[in-house]
Chain A
Amino acid sequence: MSKEQAYYVPEGTYWPIIGSIGIATLFVGFANQMHGVSWGGSVMALGFAIVVFMMFGWLGQVVNESTNGIYNDQVDRSFRWGMSWFIFSEVMFFAAFFGALFYARQLSVPWLGGADNNVFTPDLWNAFSASWHQMAFLAPGAELQSGTVMSFPAVPDSGIATATPADVVNPWGLPALNTALLLLSGVTLTFAHHALRAGHRNQIVGWLVATIALGSAFLGFQIMEYGHAYHEGLKLTSGIYGSTFYMLTGFHGFHVTVGVIMLTVILYRVQKGHFSAENHFGFEGVAWYWHFVDVVWLGLFVFVYWL
Chain B
Amino acid sequence: MTEVLIVIVIIAILVALGFGLIGMLKGGKQGSDKMFRSLVTRVALSVALFIFVMFAGAMGWIKPNGMMIDAPAVHQPVQK
Q: Answer whether A and B touch in the complex at a CB cut-off of 8 Å.
A: yes
Q: Residues on A close to B: CB < 8 A?
A: 73, 76-77, 80-81, 83-84, 87, 105-106, 109-110, 113-115, 122-123, 126, 128-133, 164, 166, 168-172, 176, 179-180, 183, 186-187, 190, 193-194, 197, 278, 281, 284-285, 287-288, 291-292, 294-295, 298-299, 301-302, 304-307
Give the interface SS of chain A, mostly helix, strand, loop or mixed: helix
- Asked whether, in the complex, the Cβ of B53 is within 8 Å of the Cβ of A294, the reply is no
The 8 Å CB contact of B46, one of A113, A122, A164, A294, is A294
C-alpha gap A305/B65 in the complex (Å): 6
Give the total number of A-B pairs whose CB atoms are below 8 A apart: 141
Assuming A131-B69, A190-B43, A306-B6, what are 16 further A-B pairs, CB within 8 angstroms?
A114-B77, A115-B71, A123-B75, A132-B65, A187-B43, A197-B32, A284-B32, A288-B20, A291-B17, A291-B39, A298-B46, A299-B10, A301-B50, A302-B6, A306-B64, A307-B7
Contact with A along B7-44 (1 / 0, CB 8 A): 10010011001001100110101001001100110110
User: Which residues of the partner chain B approach A132 to less than 8 Å between Cβ atoms?
Assistant: 65, 68-70
User: Which residues of the partner chain B approach A187 to less than 8 Å between Cβ atoms?
Assistant: 43, 47
- Asked whether, in the complex, the Cβ of B62 is within 8 Å of the Cβ of A306, the reply is yes
User: Which residues of the partner chain B approach A81 to less than 8 Å between Cβ atoms?
Assistant: 25
- Asked whether, in the complex, the Cβ of A169 is within 8 Å of the Cβ of B50, the reply is no
- Chain B nearest CB from A219 CB (Å) reads 19
Nearest A residue to B40 via CB reads A190
- Asked whether, in the complex, the Cβ of B42 is within 8 Å of the Cβ of A291, the reply is yes
The 8 Å CB contact of B70, one of A105, A122, A128, A179, is A105
User: Is B78 interfacial (CB 8 A cutoff)?
Assistant: yes
Nearest B residue to A109 via CB reads B70
C-alpha gap A69/B68 in the complex (Å): 58
- Chain A nearest CB from B51 CB (Å) reads 10
- Asked whether, in the complex, the Cβ of B71 is within 8 Å of the Cβ of A110, the reply is yes
